[in-house]
Structure 1
Amino acid sequence: MHDIDELRELRDFDPGTAPLDDATRHRARARLLAAMDRPVARVRPRRPMLRIALTASLAAAVSAGVLVAVRDDGGTRTHPTARPPVAGTPTLQNASARTVLAKAAAYQRSHEKQVAPRDDQYIYSKEIIKETEQGTGTTKTYVDEDWRSVDNSKSSWVMEIGKGWWSPPLKKNEGVWPTQDWTRLSKLPTDPDKLLRAMRDPFDRTPDYSQPIKADDWWMIDFSLEGLLYRVPVMPAGLRAAAYEALGKIPGVRATPGVRDARGRVGIGITYSDKGRPSLGTMIFDPDTYAFLGFRNTRTSGDGKDKKTYIQLSYLDSWAVVDRVKVRPAAGG
C-alpha cells in the first residue's frame, strides 16, 4: 500500500472571480485532476486539508488555481496519473468494507456523546502518534494537543508531530477543508447518500443532491470524507456515523484484517484506492465491536540516499469542550 505523506491544498485564489457556467466547471474539474500529478516544492503540514479563497462556489475558486501535493521536508513528489475509479453504483464496491463501516456507524450512534459547544469556546483534542523509521526500526512517540476555535473567529493552537503553532482565523472569503466550524458541520447532511453528493465539492454550501455521482467524483468524495473523519475529533450528532456509511458506498474501498493500531491491538483496516492514486491512509476498527481504533499512515523525508520512510500510527486519546485556549480540561472532564 502506498500512502500519501502530504495531502492536497487549494490556495491563493482571486476572491473577485465570477461564478462559472457548467462547461467551465467541467474544464476546471479536469484541470484539478491533472494538477495532482505536478510536483510542487512547498512545506506544508501532514494533516489532510484543502484551503481556498471562496468566491461564489468551489468551482470558481478551482478555475483560478491548482491542487498540489506537498511534503514535510519541502521536497517534491510525483504520483501516477490517476485513472477514473470503477464507474457505476455502490454495489460494485467491496461488500466486506461496507459491512465493517455500517457496523462502525451503528457503534458510533449507540456510543455517541451529545455536545453543543458555544461559538466562543474551543474544541480540545489530544492525539498520540507513534512513528517508526523503517530503516532503523526506531520508534518515537508524540503527543499532539490542539485547541481549535469553535467558530474559527479566534486563533487556534495546533500541533504536528510534537511541534505547535498559532493558527490565525480564516480571512474574509477564505475557507478550509476539513472545516472545524461547528455551524458549518451542523449543516452537513446526516443522510449518507446526501453526504456523498455534498462531498463532491465540500465548499459548496448548497449542493445539488439531485445530480448523480459520476466516476470521476469518487476520488474527491473519498478525500473529503477521510479528511473529515481524520481531522475533526468532535462532530454534531449523526455526522460521523453518516460519514462511515457514506465511505462504505465508495467504489475502491477495501477491508484488510490483521492491521495493528498504535496500542498493538489487531483490527480491520479500511483503505481507499482508485487504481491510480495512492491511498490517503488506513482507518482501523475493532473486529468485534467495530469501534474506531485509529489511523495508519506513511510519511517520508529527505531525498536520494537521505530518504527515510516512517510508519505513523495514531489515535485520539481524549477530547473536550473548553472555555480557553491552552487550558486543559479537568481530569475526567
Structure 2
Amino acid sequence: MDELTMVRDWDTDENGPSDQARAAARARLAAAMAAESRSAASRGLGLSRRLVFRAALVGMAAAAVGVTVVVAHDDEDDDTPRLEAVSATEVLQKAAARSRDMGSDLPIPRNDQYFYYKTYTTRTPVKGGRTRTWTDESWMSVDGSKPSLREEYGKVHHDPPLGEHHVRWPPTVYSKLKRMPTDPDQLLAQFRHGQMGAPDADLYAFFEGSMLMMGPRVMPPGLQAAAFEALSKLPRIRLDYDDVDVAGRRAVGVSYPKASFTFLFDRKTYDYLGLRTKGSIPKKVHGEWQQTDYYYETRGLQDIQVVDRIGQRR
C-alpha cells in the first residue's frame, strides 16, 4: 500500500481525526513542504511526490495523537531536513537522559549556606502587548534558618528566617532530597501522595513535579532524571509552546490539562530551561476582586551557586 492509499483510507475512517486536527495537519504539511521546497530549489532539485505524501501521512498522524512535527537538520548536512514526530513522553525521556549525562558540578550545600541564583523572567499579556523582562539576583538560606534576600520583578525583599514549625516542600536541604526515591515509579507514587485512582491524582503529581523543579536546590544524582521519567508516565501530558524563547534559546514545552505550569526544554539538547506559567493580576471591579489581565510568564534559571553569605556570587 502506498502513502496516498494510506492517507485516503485513514481519512475516511469514522473514528478519524477531527476537522480541527486535519486543519492543523494541513498547516504543518504546508510548512514542511515549503521548507523542503526552498531547500530543494537551492540545490536545483524538485520536491519528490513520495516525500509529499510521506509528509502528509506524518502530519495527519501527528494531529491525531497530539504530537508536534519538527523540521530538523542533520548535523553533517544542514541542507537536508528530516521530519520527526516527538511526543511529550519522548521529550521528558530525552530530558531525563540529558540530565543523567550532564550531572551537576555544584557542591553539596551545608545547611548553614546560601543558594545564590540569578533568574531571567519574561511576562507577556495573553491578549498581546508589550513583553516585560527582569533579571533578578537572590540569596536563599539552604535550611531557612537565616534571613534571605530575594529579588523579584526588580524589587528586593528581605525574608526573615523560617518559623520553628515551618517545613519547605519540596525540600531544599540536601539530606532530605537524598531520601527521595530515584526510581521513577516510586517517585511518581510519592508525587501522588497516595491518591492513586483519585480524579485529580495525575494533575496533583504534575504539580508536585513542577514544585520540585521550581526554586534553587542541588539535586542528588539521578533525582531530576527520575522526576522527568516519572512525569513521562502520566497519560495526559501534552506537547505545546514549541516556539518559546528562553533567554535566546528556542524551547519545547510539556504541560498537563488544567495545570498552570509548563516545563520548557531546549529544542536541540533537551536541557531543562525553566517553567512557563499562566497567571493574572487581581483587580477590584465594581467593588469586588476579580482576576484580570492574564499573562504568560517564563522564568529561567541563569545561574546557581552555593555560597557562604548574602552578596557572594562564587
Give TM-score, length-normalised by structure 2: 0.64
Letter in 2 for 1:299: G
Shift of 1:108: 0.8
Is the partner of 1:152 in helix, strand or coil?
coil
Of 196, 203, 220, the match for 1:219: 203
Of 244, 247, 254, the match for 2:231: 247
Alpha carbons 2:109, 2:218 under 8 Å: kept: no
1:260 aligned residue = 244
Shift of 1:310: 2.4
Aligned pairs for 1:197-216 (under 5 A) are: 197-201=189-193, 213-216=196-199
Alpha carbons 2:191, 2:204 under 8 Å: kept: yes
Say which structure, 1 or 2, has more relative contact order (CA 8 Å, 6+ apart).
Answer: 1
Aligned pairs for 1:161-172 (under 5 A) are: 161-172=153-164
- CA distance 1:213–1:158, shift in 2 (3 Å): same
Q: Distance in 2 between matches of 1:113 and 1:171?
A: 31
Alpha carbons 1:147, 1:157 under 8 Å: kept: yes
Of 109, 124, 127, the match for 2:116: 124
Shift of 1:242: 1.0
Shift of 1:182: 2.1
Q: Distance in 2 between matches of 1:102 and 1:177?
A: 25
Count of residue correspondences: 225
CA deviation vs aligned residue, 1:257-277 (integer Å, no higher than 9, x gap): 62312335433210011xxxx
Letter in 2 for 1:106: A
Higher helix fraction (1 or 2)? 2
Of 88, 95, 104, the match for 1:113: 104
Q: Distance in 2 between matches of 1:146 and 1:237?
A: 25
In the alignment, does 2:267 pair up with 1:282?
no
CA deviation vs aligned residue, 1:54-102 (integer Å, no higher than 9, x gap): xxxxxxxxxxxxxxxxxxxxxxxxxxxxxxxxxxxxxx99892121111
Q: Distance in 1 between matches of 2:241 and 2:154?
A: 30
Q: Distance in 2 between matches of 1:138 and 1:190?
A: 42
Alpha carbons 1:152, 1:181 under 8 Å: kept: no
Gaps of 5+ in 2: 1-64, 68-85
- CA distance 1:168–1:179, shift in 2 (3 Å): farther
Alpha carbons 1:93, 1:250 under 8 Å: kept: no
Give TM-score, length-normalised by structure 1: 0.61
Q: Distance in 2 between matches of 1:102 and 1:284?
A: 13
Shift of 1:151: 2.3
In the alignment, does 2:301 pair up with 1:316?
yes
Shift of 1:229: 0.9
Is the partner of 2:162 in helix, strand or coil?
coil
1:234 aligned residue = 218
Higher strand fraction (1 or 2)? 2
Q: Distance in 2 between matches of 1:243 and 1:222?
A: 10
2:277 aligned residue = 297
Larger Rg over CA atoms: 2
